[in-house]
Structure 1
Amino acid sequence: MLNLFVDIECRGEKLANLMLLLAAAIWGFGFVAQRLGMESLEPFAFNGLRFVIGAMSLLPLIWFLKTKGRVKGAGETGFWRRALVGSLGCGGILFIAASFQQVGLLHTTAANAGFITGLYIVLVPVLGIMLKHSTGLNTWLGCAIAVVGLYFLSVGEDFSISFGDGLQLVGALFWAMHILAVDHYATRIAPVVLACGQFLVCALASFVVSLMMETTTLAGVQAAWGSLAYAGLISVGVAYTLQVLAQKHAHPAHAAIILSLETVFAAIGGMLFLDETLGPRALFGCGLMLFGMLISQIPLRYLVKSRHQKVT
């Protein structure tokens, strides 16, 4: 595992996309852990604990990389100032997004939370235009197909949206902003330092809110240890770090579409562990999302060229 983190900066876009897909799978099943964890803990306490666990899990890796001289820019003037700014920026947005998601999970299913969170696939390229990011036609087509899939997955026939779904919808905007923030800072700060820093900022903000609004007991923490272990070590410590590392080599709009597949994995996890169900309509939506991801990764000129060669 350490070798994977050490060598990732030398790998290309294909490996980055695979890492993003793995992160999506981890996050998808993480919705199950987040719901189960709140049977014993309140939202902000759960977020604070899982993010501080995630941050602590990265400290040995940072120490290892530093001893090998692999923390890029660590000796440069202004490195820690850039790290602090990046951590505050990404961590602040992460705190807001994670808060809307976690509180929303009190009022909706893991499947719905995953589906609606995936709406950031539309918001990332839209916000990216404001930042003068170039976005190809294939990405827009992939986004459109994926959005139609999300409609079939998450919007009822009466077009109703519950309170919990509404919170997830607001959170989707901040998840999109978080992807763009990570894309901005990941090339300026050592990825593992940025990951650890943003986790600590998010954890601190969550603990402050929890102390003001919630009551946390040791018995509750002990009862939620399994969910915290997965949500902290795997969902935060591994998956968010995979995102930061991979986004050094992946287009932010492509990253958004791949990461949105967490909605599919959330639905699978909900069915397997929470007895949630998906009908034919929802399954059709999952298929559209997968198709949208594939379209976004294949330039249309390549498809046209391949078609032309077959005809001739």
Structure 2
Amino acid sequence: MTRIQANLVLLLAAAIWGGGFVAQSTAMDTIGPFWFVGLRFAIAAIAVLPFAAMESRKMGSAPSRGEFKAFALVGVALFLGAITQQIGLLTTSVTNSSFLTALYVIFVPVIAVIIYRRNPHWVVWPGALMMLTGIFLLSGGAIASLTTGDMLSITCAVFWALQITLAGRFVMQSNRPLALSCTQFSICAALSMVFGAMVEPLSFTAISSSIGEILYVGLVSSGLAFVLQVIGQRYTTAPQAAIFLSSEALFGAFFAAIFLQETIQTAGYIGCAIIFAAILLVELVPELSRKRNNALSAKT
């Protein structure tokens, strides 16, 4: 898979996640956040498990204990990001949540520098700022005061950034994207259900009333999109992955406008243009630089 193909895979994952924001919001009418997150990732883990087993058979061995520990660490980051985002949706809009969650576009390169001492391509920084500006305009540019849900969305962005960074590192080390996905889903589901059993009631009526949303985010938004994420991250850098994945805010606002009647102002359309300009910038500049360097090397 080429880097361009990998980034398109990440863009598809972002579009799926954008639709998931709507499902996550409407499901909260009947079920609590911990049980919702637990059920969605339990379904995702079950869906991915057969493919993870096939992956292990193809590689001739199961993941090592060290790999399982690394994958579990990604699962903890996934749980912290997913649950803070889900609880935040109780007191903020889908548009605001998608905007604030996308702050991970800034946090990812910062975490990569702090943890791995790895500087990204210079274009990531202006691209990240362009993306952040575009997302802000998409939100209407009028977040006058932050609610509890807004603060939780900002917190979840830090955990998403950590999950993206760790997933990118461990999937390249292990070459086991499906095992990583299944493990992180299982850890996230188990933690969510443990807390759900302690703090939230659960009934058959609550599950049946939100079964459509649970299945969508479980099979598609979680099972499919997160697998696309870890596969795509095998062939691109974590900062560039963050740029493409953060476009979920664009898709989230779009689907919110359609299904929840959340309006997009004129500034939002300008934001859309800036977001796609940032995506093209991050995609094309490194590719053109690589080709130019190869051409210079060939001449010498």
* Structure 2, gaps ≥5 residues long: 293-300
One-letter code of the match for 2:93?
Answer: T
What is the aligned partner in structure 1 of residue 185 from structure 2?
A: 199
State yes or no: 1:269 paired with 2:255.
yes
1:135-159 Cα distance to aligned partner (Å, 9 max, x none):
1221111111112112323374464
Matched-pair identity in %: 35
Q: 1:280, CA displacement in angstroms? A: 0.7
8 Å Cα contact 2:257-2:263 kept in structure 1 = yes
Q: Which moved more, 1:248-257 or 1:140-149?
A: 140-149
One-letter code of the match for 2:9?
Answer: M
What is the aligned partner in structure 1 of residue 277 from structure 2?
A: 291
TM-score normalised per structure 2: 0.91
1:181-206 Cα distance to aligned partner (Å, 9 max, x none):
10111023311001000000000000
| Aligned with residue 223 of structure 1, among 190, 209, 225 | 209
What is the aligned partner in structure 2 of residue 278 from structure 1?
A: 264
What is the aligned partner in structure 1 of residue 138 from structure 2?
A: 153
1:155-196 Cα distance to aligned partner (Å, 9 max, x none):
744642222111101110111111001011102331100100
CA distance in 1, matches of 2:200, 2:287: 55
What is the aligned partner in structure 1 of residue 61 from structure 2?
A: 74
From the superposition, tell whether residues 221 and 88 of structure 1 become closer, same or farther in structure 2 (CA, over 3 Å).
Answer: same
State yes or no: 1:103 paired with 2:90.
no
Q: 1:301, CA displacement in angstroms? A: 9.1
One-letter code of the match for 1:88?
Answer: A
| Aligned with residue 104 of structure 2, among 107, 116, 120 | 120
RMSD in angstroms over aligned alpha carbons? 1.9
What is the aligned partner in structure 2 of residue 248 from structure 1?
A: 234
| Aligned with residue 63 of structure 1, among 53, 56, 61 | 53
1:108-128 Cα distance to aligned partner (Å, 9 max, x none):
111111111111001111111
CA distance in 1, matches of 2:272, 2:61: 43
| Aligned with residue 9 of structure 2, among 5, 19, 24 | 19
SS at structure 2 position matched to 1:275: coil
Q: For residues 162-177 of structure 1, what are the structure 2 equivalents within 5 Å? A: 162-177=147-162
CA distance in 1, matches of 2:191, 2:139: 30
TM-score normalised per structure 1: 0.88
SS at structure 2 position matched to 1:135: coil
One-letter code of the match for 2:94?
Answer: A
From the superposition, tell whether residues 125 and 60 of structure 1 become closer, same or farther in structure 2 (CA, over 3 Å).
Answer: same
The number of residue pairs the alignment matches comes to 289
8 Å Cα contact 2:77-2:162 kept in structure 1 = yes
Misfit runs of 4+, over 4 Å: none
